[in-house]
Amino acid sequence: MTERRGGGLRRPLGPSVAPMRVLVTGGAGFIGSHIVTALIDHGHEPVVLDALLPAAHPTPPTVDGEWIHADVRDREAVVAALRGVDAVCHQAAMVGLGKDFADAPAYVGCNDLGTAVLLAAMAERGVRQLVLAGSMVVYGEGRYDCPRHGRVRPGPRAEADLAAGRFDPRCPECGTSLRPGKVEEDAPVDPRNVYATTKLAQEHLAAAWARSVGGHAVSLRYHNVYGPGMPRDTPYAGVASFFRSALARGEAPTVFEDGGQRRDFVHVRDVAAANVAALEAAAQVVAPSTLTAYNTGSDDPHTVGEMAAALATAFGGPAPVVTGGYRLGDVRHITASSRRIREALGWRAAISFTEGMTAFARAPSARGSEAEESEAEGAEAAGTGLAGACGGRG
């Protein structure tokens, strides 16, 4: 069943960009809703298709503008939604890590079957432009250099090391400490869980579609996205919401490991702007019949401990407590070079870490009620693992 609502607000376009009608799948979600706002601000005409998954929407959201309540796996609904559409911005996905492996079919269904149905409908409708919500989870661990052996790829960390407080991966050849660096788009992929595997498969499907129909496909590999409306249960920066709600209860944020795990935190409004830049420029910049991946991060790495401290300072709450706790499977460092997107699309993150975290500490607008947050915190404290592999739910 589909339902259509509303109509969008228009603002003037710049001189060189024609207005586009853009289907935003997952446009009721955290990132998608910011993309819808940014598209309207740029004079485009977004139309949202979203299934409103209960896990993503504990309470019904407000969707700006025109929208269709449908699942991306519903071929008829998607074909109908593509009428008059110039480009697709595909955000719909199940995020997070699920409870256990039994959730694998649901992830593959939403994320990969959903992408295949969407791409087939685009092929049928002659829509040739796609911007996909990619993810840094395709890389697994970040980039590491050994002073003696150069670029190396350490495997997952051993429990004995973590228990002994040896959190940094070491050189597989000589055991020396490694220097973490910024991962680039041609780094080898190493998806380490079902969700990451589905995000990688989305890229492969989009590349196959582009080759087959002569389409332009871009994957924006978002790093740890944070900002107003962020969900808690993601393998990304959901930890910022946990820290913020601890502070709201007058408690210190508790940080896992030694707080030194590095991430690239990027503000959701910057990510929305990257999507608009990709939609406006891709047909000129990206070769047809290919998929081009762009890291989409702040290019300004920070540790989880620094994030907790920034939130505590801005909130005026107690300083973070570093617990030394850990979760097997968490990656230690994953930070990006966003040089390629800067050079190709002229996009760079505009909201600094301090500015973004300060605003988030003061007005997080996180989804879900305080009661649900307390419940979620309790569940995680009991070890049921809501927060995923950010390596820093602490």
Ligand X SMILES: NC(=O)c1ccc[n+]([C@@H]2O[C@H](COP(=O)([O-])OP(=O)(O)OC[C@H]3O[C@@H](n4cnc5c(N)ncnc54)[C@H](O)[C@@H]3O)[C@@H](O)[C@H]2O)c1
Q: Does 133 bind ligand X (CB under 6 A)?
A: yes
- The residue within the footprint of ligand X, chosen from 197, 219, 234, 335 (CB under 6 A), is 234
Query: Taking the complex as a whole, how short is the minimal distance between the CB of residue 214 and ligand X, in angstroms?
Result: 25
Of 118-126, 138-146, 237-245, 340-348, which segment contacts Zn ion by CB under 5 A?
A: 138-146
DSSP-based three-state secondary structure for 322: strand
Q: Are strands 129-135 and 290-296 parallel, antiparallel or unpaired?
A: unpaired
Q: Does 196 bind Zn ion (CB under 5 A)?
A: no
Quickly count: other Cβ atoms within 10 Å of residue 195's Cβ.
26
- The residue within the footprint of ligand X, chosen from 67, 144, 236, 353 (CB under 6 A), is 236
Q: Closest CB to ligand X among 33 and 152?
A: 33
Rounded to whole angstroms, the Cα distance separating 6 from 47 reads 10
Burial pattern 112-130, b for ≥16 Cβ within 10 A else e, equals: bbbbbbbbebbeebebbbb
Q: Whats the size of the chain, residue-wise? A: 394
Of 35-43, 163-171, 230-238, 251-259, which segment contacts ligand X by CB under 6 A?
A: 230-238
Q: Closest CB to ligand X among 73 and 149?
A: 73
Footprint (CB under 6 A) of ligand X, residues 156-215: 199
Query: Taking the complex as a whole, how short is the minimal distance between the CB of residue 148 and Zn ion, in angstroms?
Result: 4
Nearest to 90 by CA among 126, 117, 109: 117
149 binds, among ligand X, Zn ion, none (CB under 5 to 8 A by kind): Zn ion
Nearest to 238 by CA among 47, 368, 85, 75: 368
Chain centre to alpha carbon of residue 285: 23
- The residue within the footprint of ligand X, chosen from 72, 131, 183, 345 (CB under 6 A), is 72
Q: Closest CB to ligand X among 215 and 227?
A: 227
- The residue within the footprint of Zn ion, chosen from 9, 163, 174, 379 (CB under 5 A), is 174
DSSP-based three-state secondary structure for 303: strand
- The residue within the footprint of Zn ion, chosen from 4, 148, 153, 204 (CB under 5 A), is 148
Burial of 260 (0-12, 13-18, 19+ CB in 10 A): middle
- The residue within the footprint of ligand X, chosen from 26, 98, 385, 391 (CB under 6 A), is 26
Q: Does 222 bind ligand X (CB under 6 A)?
A: yes
Q: Does 73 bind ligand X (CB under 6 A)?
A: yes
Query: Which residue is closest to ligand X by CB?
Result: 29
- Listed in sequence order, the residues at least 6 apart from 386 whose beta carbon sits closer than 8 Å to its beta carbon are 96, 232, 233, 376, 379, 380, 393
The CA dihedral of 117, 28, 99, 188, to the nearest 10 degrees, is 60
Query: Taking the complex as a whole, how short is the minimal distance between the CB of residue 352 and ligand X, in angstroms?
Result: 18
- The residue within the footprint of ligand X, chosen from 31, 88, 240, 293 (CB under 6 A), is 31
- The residue within the footprint of Zn ion, chosen from 159, 173, 343, 370 (CB under 5 A), is 173
Q: Does 243 bind ligand X (CB under 6 A)?
A: no
- The residue within the footprint of Zn ion, chosen from 171, 183, 247, 389 (CB under 5 A), is 171
237 binds, among Zn ion, ligand X, none (CB under 5 to 8 A by kind): ligand X
- Listed in sequence order, the residues at least 6 apart from 310 whose beta carbon sits closer than 8 Å to its beta carbon are 302, 353, 354, 357, 358, 361
Q: Does 337 bind ligand X (CB under 6 A)?
A: no
Of 26-34, 250-258, 306-314, 335-343, which segment contacts ligand X by CB under 6 A?
A: 26-34
Q: What is the DSSP string of 165-221?
A: T--S-B-TTT--B-EEEEE-TTSPP---SHHHHHHHHHHHHHHHHHHHHT-EEEEEE
Of 9-17, 162-170, 176-184, 221-229, which segment contacts Zn ion by CB under 5 A?
A: 176-184
How far is residue 52 from each of residues 69, 74, 160, 276, measured CA to CA in Å?
A: 7, 14, 42, 23
Q: What is the DSSP string of 55-97?
A: TT-SSPPP--SEEEE--TT-HHHHHHHTTT-SEEEE-----S-
Q: Does 122 bind ligand X (CB under 6 A)?
A: no
Q: Closest CB to ligand X among 95 and 276?
A: 95
Residue with tokens 């003037």: 12
Interface positions with ligand X (CB under 6 A)? 25-26, 28-32, 50-53, 56-57, 71-73, 91-95, 110, 114, 133, 135, 199, 222, 224-225, 231, 234, 236-237
Residues making contact with Zn ion (CB under 5 A): 146, 148-149, 171, 173-174, 176
